[in-house]
A and B are shown apart, each in its own frame.
Chain A
Amino acid sequence: MAILRYALYRFATMLLTLLVVSGLVFVIINLPPGDYLSNQIAELRATGQSAGVAKAEFLRTEYALDRPLYQQYLIWIGFIPGPHGFSGLIQGNFGWSFEFDNPVAEIVGDTLWLTVLVNLAAVLFVYMVALPLGVLAAAKSKTWVDYTSAFVGYLGLATPNFLLALIMFYYGHKYFDLPIGGLMDPIYEGEPMSWEKTKSILIHLIVPTFVIGTSGAAGMMQRLRANLLDELGKPYVDTAIAKGMHPVRMLTKYPLRMAFNPFVADIGNLLPSMISGSVLVSVVLGLQTIGPTLLTALKTQDLFLSGFVLMFVALLTLVGTMVSDVLLVLLDPRIQYEGRET
């Protein structure tokens, strides 16, 4: 029960953090001089298209961009009514994208879930690769197993992701007939979910997962190896051996449990670094993830679109940290939380 209370408490602090982040995001987006519409108005004026100017001016009042910054922020979040009453993030209205001339919700729509999908797949890949390889490298440290995995790992770390993407692209297609680009066969786009569509998505996921996950897996593997090696030198390992435990059982029950903490704590960090890191990969592989959209939105100062995407990334990060915090408390009895029974 105590753990449930702790999870609730962490959830509450997460919401608070999210609020602070929203303020920061809004301020930072507004730091560069001008906004999408004023840039457009200036451009239209210069080319003498007064009709467009009128439309842009209309949009300015429509989205309250003529109000002071703090009011704009509060309207955006949905704390105070805008020109059309309460209609902000907490009411579920994500705003209007000027660049694409469409509601933000419509533009990000599917890509949002595909982003989550691609990145979750990459995180799973990272853990599934790093865990066995890291343990193996530590258990067989200073042998060819260790050296080989370290070499492959460093290769993975050192290769730029987009380059890896291009290589995978070419050879994957040539030898394994893996599909090129996109997250599903074009014929399924816009279609309702079906078995065939799922299969297509899964096959398309192979290359991006590998590309995005490789460097993370390599880093994680090295960290796990180093942690585990540290733990293997500790006296409680001798105690376990002196009990007559089988080495494999001993390794998994004691040192691995200890080495696991940083492994779990990394979940929170992994998500955002992957999302921002995978922008280039998404461009190269033509994935409909949120990365390329964010890039365009930031370049054109598309206020609501970039704001929403940044908030989404922040949310993923915070959820990741929350999950890892709760997991850590479950894993390590030494971590105290409020109301813990002793």
Chain B
Amino acid sequence: MTPLLTVEDLSVGFGRGESVVKNISFKVHPGETLALVGESGSGKTVTCRAVLRILPRVAQIRTGRVTLNGPDGLIELSTLGDRAMRKVRGNLVSMIFQEPMRSLSPLHRIGNQVAEVLWIHRGASEKSARREVLDTFEKVGFPDPERAYRSYPFELSGGMQQRAMIAMAMVSKPDLLIADEPTTALDVTTQAQVLGLMKDLQRETGMAMVLVTHDLGVVANMAEQVVVMRKGRVMESGAAEPLLRAPAHPYTQQLFDAAPTIPATPKLAPPMPDDDLILQLKSVSKTYTLRASSMFKPDVLIHACRGVDLNLPRGKTLAIVGESGSGKTTAARVALGAEPPDEGGEVLFRSNPDGEPVAVHKMNRAARTAFQRQAQMVFQDPYSSLSPRMRIQAAMTEPLEIHNIGSRAEQYDKAVAMLRQVGLNEGMLKRFPHAFSGGQRQRLSIARALMLDPSLLVCDEPTSALDVSVQDQILTLLEDIRDKMNLSYLFISHDLAVVARIADEVAVMRQGLVVEQAPPDTLFYNPKHPYTKALIAAQPTPDIDRPINLKLVAQGAGSADSWPEAFRFTDDVIPSLTQLEPGHKVRCHV
């Protein structure tokens, strides 16, 4: 069989620099999915963009050929003229990008942007294109295609935007779809649904796919062929099944080891102790008021958190897991005292085992300053949480200066000690943040949080902006310093697999409510709530024998009305959190 796409000896470079893609070759057969796997900087995105020559102006294809087996014979894409290339783009080969929000024009209606493909390539009239687009919208799962046609991107959720992107790529029925990290920016259950959709569409139309991803779990669920890349070179390639079962190259093996997974055979775990609680959230609710658009309509109340009760014992890690909008970040902000809870809620903090618990939101000035020293935060994005204009030394010693602690020399010594603690060295103090990689920056953020000798760290998705291998290192570091310095963590994450490793207890949140709470192993061993089941089922695991169970995802990830009777809740009737076994609570009607 002739391959649909042949890439031979492809090298791409920027300006006068060294090539970032070096002598890559692969083939994609009709109807087949090839996954390009690698970490950031591996050249996977540049490779897939080079196929359609959608590259920055300074990039040049230095060697190699890209050939497409089109309907009228072979087309050499790497040397094709601009005009002929435009006939290929969006027609024979289409592309999906990572961030749907930014990849759609905010000023044009979805229908217009999708139908445009047909106007360009089929010369279709406004009306006939519309019919075809509506059909495609139906296929990609828009509940109301007419409405979607009229919508602007900002009126849709991330998952729906990505569906619109897929519709745009599919509407011309291309032979090949190139998807550049199509689900990385999406929540895990949405990711599962979008991946399922892509597979269905592929089965239906028989198109081939090039899937660029950093996630081996996605590869295991989607691909027939795999190309593992690192620093612009192919490390290993071949059919997916043998490669995933027994990776030959040490780098592939390393990626496997780093990928966080939900254990395949979890055991029941003992509940957390509750004798020495450092932080206690007692029926914390947080309601935001959205001003109504007109004086005659009532204001809209948004319940970000509803009656959250959480206990964090000293030296342990409590994780809050949920999708965007579940209220996990709000709960953390209230816990840190950044926002007051609604009337009746309380946050108690006990600085040492013998001390009395103090209400975080009723502290006087001095107590508050002391609390701020003891509770520190590590943020999600290490690129924007360090000031680019401050040297590392200044960024590190700033907390000490604010709290007036120690002489300059003492502050410097402390900074050195903390840098060593996170695996960096003294020589780095004089540098600016731009001289560090993402992983190093996150180490710096952790070191800065440690400067004040805190006893409580709130980690807000500390690894979600990092590569898997770096994520692995950061998690190890967090575990190490927790045990060494007897820290307690409140760990916010959307990723059950990450949490599986570090947490002692997990609270799963949905629509501002904790729906299930247990030690991670218990949770995986015996998940009760449909939403927890959906989260676990949606998690892509790099194990070819454990594919995503879309049925479970669909059952739990929808709105609360679609859950079984026992778990359902409305605005007024909310079932209470019921203890099933020691340390395992589920929100259900008994």
Which positions in A face B, CB cutoff 8 Å? 234-236, 238-246, 253-254, 257-258, 331-334, 338-339, 342
- State whether B86 touches A235 (Cβ < 8 A): no
Quick one: which of A239, A241, A246, A332 has the most chain B CB within 10 A?
Answer: A239
Rank and list the top 9 A-B pairs by shortest CB-CB distance, nearest first: A244-B89, A243-B90, A244-B90, A242-B95, A235-B103, A244-B86, A235-B102, A236-B105, A239-B103
Minimum distance in angstroms from B186 CB to a CB of chain A: 15
Minimum distance in angstroms from B483 CB to a CB of chain A: 42
Give chain A residues whose Cβ lies under 8 Å from the Cβ of B121.
244
A-B contact pairs, 25 of them (CB 8 A): A234-B102, A235-B97, A236-B103, A236-B104, A236-B105, A236-B106, A239-B95, A239-B165, A239-B168, A240-B105, A241-B54, A242-B90, A242-B94, A243-B117, A244-B117, A245-B86, A245-B90, A245-B120, A246-B86, A254-B105, A254-B108, A257-B107, A257-B108, A331-B107, A333-B152
B339 at the interface (CB under 8 A from A): no
- State whether B107 touches A339 (Cβ < 8 A): no
Nearest opposing residue in chain B for A332, CB measure: B107
Give chain B residues whose Cβ lies under 8 Å from the Cβ of A338.
293-294
Nearest opposing residue in chain B for A234, CB measure: B102
- State whether B102 touches A242 (Cβ < 8 A): no
Query: Bound state CA distance, A243 and B93, in angstroms?
Result: 9
Contact residue among B94, B99, B107, B293 (Cβ-Cβ distance under 8 Å from A235): B99
Give chain B residues whose Cβ lies under 8 Å from the Cβ of A334.
106-107, 152, 154
- State whether B54 touches A258 (Cβ < 8 A): no
Query: Bound state CA distance, A257 and B86, in angstroms?
Result: 22
B155 at the interface (CB under 8 A from A): yes
Nearest opposing residue in chain B for A336, CB measure: B293
Quick one: which of A235, A240, A258, A342 has the most chain B CB within 10 A?
Answer: A235
Query: Bound state CA distance, A244 and B99, in angstroms?
Result: 20
Give chain B residues whose Cβ lies under 8 Å from the Cβ of A333.
106-107, 152, 154
Minimum distance in angstroms from B82 CB to a CB of chain A: 8
Nearest opposing residue in chain A for B121, CB measure: A244
Nearest opposing residue in chain A for B293, CB measure: A338
Which B19-58 residues have C-beta < 8 A from chain A?
Answer: 52, 54
Which B355-384 residues have C-beta < 8 A from chain A?
Answer: none
B91 at the interface (CB under 8 A from A): yes
Contact residue among A234, A238, A243, A257 (Cβ-Cβ distance under 8 Å from B120): A243
- State whether A244 touches B107 (Cβ < 8 A): no
Quick one: which of A236, A240, A332, A342 has the most chain B CB within 10 A?
Answer: A236
Give chain A residues whose Cβ lies under 8 Å from the Cβ of B346.
none
Minimum distance in angstroms from B211 CB to a CB of chain A: 16
Quick one: which of A242, A246, A258, A334 has the most chain B CB within 10 A?
Answer: A242
B521 at the interface (CB under 8 A from A): no
B589 at the interface (CB under 8 A from A): no
Nearest opposing residue in chain A for B94, CB measure: A242
Give chain B residues whose Cβ lies under 8 Å from the Cβ of A258.
105-107
Quick one: which of B90, B103, B105, B152 has the most chain A CB within 10 A?
Answer: B105
B88 at the interface (CB under 8 A from A): yes
Minimum distance in angstroms from A89 CB to a CB of chain B: 33
Minimum distance in angstroms from A46 CB to a CB of chain B: 63
- State whether B294 touches A243 (Cβ < 8 A): no
Minimum distance in angstroms from B52 CB to a CB of chain A: 6
Nearest opposing residue in chain A for B52, CB measure: A242
Minimum distance in angstroms from B109 CB to a CB of chain A: 8
Nearest opposing residue in chain B for A239, CB measure: B103
Query: Bound state CA distance, A244 and B165, in angstroms?
Result: 15
Nearest opposing residue in chain B for A245, CB measure: B120
- State whether A241 touches B89 (Cβ < 8 A): yes
Give chain A residues whose Cβ lies under 8 Å from the Cβ of B116.
243, 245
B87 at the interface (CB under 8 A from A): yes
Number of A-B contacts (CB under 8 A): 77
Query: Bound state CA distance, A246 and B82, in angstroms?
Result: 9
- State whether A342 touches B155 (Cβ < 8 A): yes
Nearest opposing residue in chain A for B85, CB measure: A244
Which B70-102 residues have C-beta < 8 A from chain A?
Answer: 86-91, 94-95, 97-99, 102
Query: Bound state CA distance, A334 and B86, in angstroms?
Result: 31
Minimum distance in angstroms from A197 CB to a CB of chain B: 44
Nearest opposing residue in chain B for A255, CB measure: B105
Nearest opposing residue in chain B for A232, CB measure: B57
Query: Bound state CA distance, A235 and B180, in angstroms?
Result: 12
- State whether B168 touches A243 (Cβ < 8 A): yes
- State whether B120 touches A339 (Cβ < 8 A): no
For B106-133 the 0/1 string (1 means CB < 8 A from A) is 1110000000110011000000000000
Query: Bound state CA distance, A339 and B293, in angstroms?
Result: 7
Minimum distance in angstroms from B170 CB to a CB of chain A: 12
Give chain B residues whose Cβ lies under 8 Å from the Cβ of A240.
105
Quick one: which of A246, A332, A333, A338 has the most chain B CB within 10 A?
Answer: A333
Query: Bound state CA distance, A140 and B117, in angstroms?
Result: 26
- State whether A242 touches B54 (Cβ < 8 A): yes
Nearest opposing residue in chain B for A261, CB measure: B107
Other A-B contacts than A245-B90, A245-B116, A331-B107, 12 sampled, CB-CB below 8 A, are A238-B97, A239-B104, A239-B105, A241-B89, A242-B90, A243-B90, A243-B120, A244-B86, A253-B108, A254-B105, A338-B293, A339-B293
- State whether A238 touches B54 (Cβ < 8 A): yes
Query: Bound state CA distance, A245 and B112, in angstroms?
Result: 14
- State whether A243 touches B155 (Cβ < 8 A): no
Give chain A residues whose Cβ lies under 8 Å from the Cβ of B102.
234-236
Quick one: which of A244, A257, A339 has the most chain B CB within 10 A?
Answer: A244
With contact pairs A235-B97, A239-B97, A257-B107 given, residues A244 and B88 touching in the complex (Cβ less than 8 Å): yes
Minimum distance in angstroms from A174 CB to a CB of chain B: 45
Contact residue among A236, A243, A331, A332 (Cβ-Cβ distance under 8 Å from B89): A243
Query: Bound state CA distance, A304 and B98, in angstroms?
Result: 63
Give chain A residues whose Cβ lies under 8 Å from the Cβ of B104.
236, 239
Minimum distance in angstroms from A250 CB to a CB of chain B: 10
Minimum distance in angstroms from A32 CB to a CB of chain B: 45
Nearest opposing residue in chain A for B93, CB measure: A242
- State whether A242 touches B89 (Cβ < 8 A): yes
Which B420-446 residues have C-beta < 8 A from chain A?
Answer: none
Query: Bound state CA distance, A48 and B97, in angstroms?
Result: 87
Nearest opposing residue in chain A for B109, CB measure: A333
Minimum distance in angstroms from A285 CB to a CB of chain B: 42
Minimum distance in angstroms from A218 CB to a CB of chain B: 26
Minimum distance in angstroms from A251 CB to a CB of chain B: 12
Quick one: which of B91, B120, B294 has the most chain A CB within 10 A?
Answer: B120
Give chain B residues whose Cβ lies under 8 Å from the Cβ of A253.
108
Give chain A residues whose Cβ lies under 8 Å from the Cβ of B88.
244
Query: Bound state CA distance, A234 and B99, in angstroms?
Result: 11
Nearest opposing residue in chain A for B178, CB measure: A242
Query: Bound state CA distance, A130 and B97, in angstroms?
Result: 33
Nearest opposing residue in chain B for A340, CB measure: B293
Minimum distance in angstroms from A324 CB to a CB of chain B: 17
Minimum distance in angstroms from B422 CB to a CB of chain A: 34
Query: Bound state CA distance, A258 and B107, in angstroms?
Result: 7
Minimum distance in angstroms from B92 CB to a CB of chain A: 9
Give chain B residues whose Cβ lies under 8 Å from the Cβ of A244.
86-91, 117, 120-121
Which B302-330 residues have C-beta < 8 A from chain A?
Answer: none
Query: Bound state CA distance, A238 and B121, in angstroms?
Result: 17
- State whether B294 touches A339 (Cβ < 8 A): yes
Give chain A residues whose Cβ lies under 8 Å from the Cβ of B107.
254, 257-258, 331-334
Nearest opposing residue in chain B for A236, CB measure: B105
Minimum distance in angstroms from B81 CB to a CB of chain A: 13
Nearest opposing residue in chain A for B114, CB measure: A243
Give chain A residues whose Cβ lies under 8 Å from the Cβ of B54.
238, 241-242
Give chain B residues whose Cβ lies under 8 Å from the Cβ of A245.
86, 90, 116, 120
Which B424-474 residues have C-beta < 8 A from chain A?
Answer: none
Query: Bound state CA distance, A235 and B153, in angstroms?
Result: 14
Give chain B residues whose Cβ lies under 8 Å from the Cβ of A257.
105, 107-108
Query: Bound state CA distance, A32 and B111, in angstroms?
Result: 62
